[in-house]
Amino acid sequence: MGRPRLAENDVATSERLLTAAQAEFGRAGFDGTRLEDIATAAGIRRPSLLYHFGSKDALYAAAVNQTFARLGEALEAAMQTQGSYRRRFDAVFERYLGFLESEPDLVRLVLRELLDGRGPGQEVLLTAGLPILARIERFVRDEGRGIVRAGLPIRAALLEVVSAAFVRCASGPLRVPLWGKTDRTLDIVHALFFDE
């Protein structure tokens, strides 16, 4: 027998669980996060959490996938804005940087997975993040033809910018002493991608 149909308030519970999971997994990593902590942060009990997400792995995957889906939608919208290629290109990076600023739990979670690699996260990051990277790479390569610096290894350049932004956003109190008060990421992106 299957689960009963979700009531309207169950959607809100699922969203609360995903938000709590993103925060807890970002703070403590996959291994260090307890389902009890996520349930408490979401205002429910552990059995209710398992009703919505059958396992810790399933909750982790759902939390990461939901976050990357929102990122993908934001970047896709930026690529579809009106205007010149340079305007859309800038919009993509501005949205990306804004997204990282608004999602510090995602930043910590991704960096933990890159360093640790023991949980299910690397596979989830590949399935959720790699398609976004590939889409941005196609946008830069195909629509930026004749505008983007000739011979630039686009994926490598994108990963340099993406990873540097992750480290900058995760640096906490070291951010201003290391990078200064002004975010110069777009200046660096322009110097890297365009002959100016």
Cβ proximity of 101 and 122 under 8 Å: no
pLDDT, residue 118, reads 67
Helix axes 121-138, 56-79, angle to 10 degrees: 10
Mean pLDDT over all residues of the chain? Answer: 88
pLDDT per residue as tens digits for the range 132-180? 999 999 999 999 999 999 999 999 999 999 999 999 999 989 999 999 9
pTM: 0.84
Residue 33, in any domain of the structure? no
| Interatomic CA distance for residues 122 and 114, integer angstroms | 7
Residue 16, in any domain of the structure? no
Tokens encoding 92? 């993509």
Residue 73, in any domain of the structure? yes
Residue 9, in any domain of the structure? no
Tokens encoding 161? 């910018």
Residue 48, in any domain of the structure? no
pLDDT per residue as tens digits for the range 4-41? 444 545 557 888 999 999 889 888 888 889 999 999 99
Tokens encoding 179? 């990078």
Please give the tally of structural domains in the chain. Answer: 1
Instruction: Write the CA distances from 145 to 81, 91, 96, integer angstroms.
Output: 18, 18, 22
Task: Please list, in sequence order, all residues whose beta carbon lies within 8 angstroms of the beta carbon of residue 193, skipping any fewer than 6 positions away.
Answer: 89, 140, 144, 148, 149, 152, 157
CATH of the domain at 174: 1.10.357
Residue 43, in any domain of the structure? no
Confidence check: pLDDT of 2 > 60: no
Cβ proximity of 186 and 93 under 8 Å: yes
The more confidently predicted of residues 124 and 158 is: 158
Supply the range of the domain harboring residue 123: 60-193
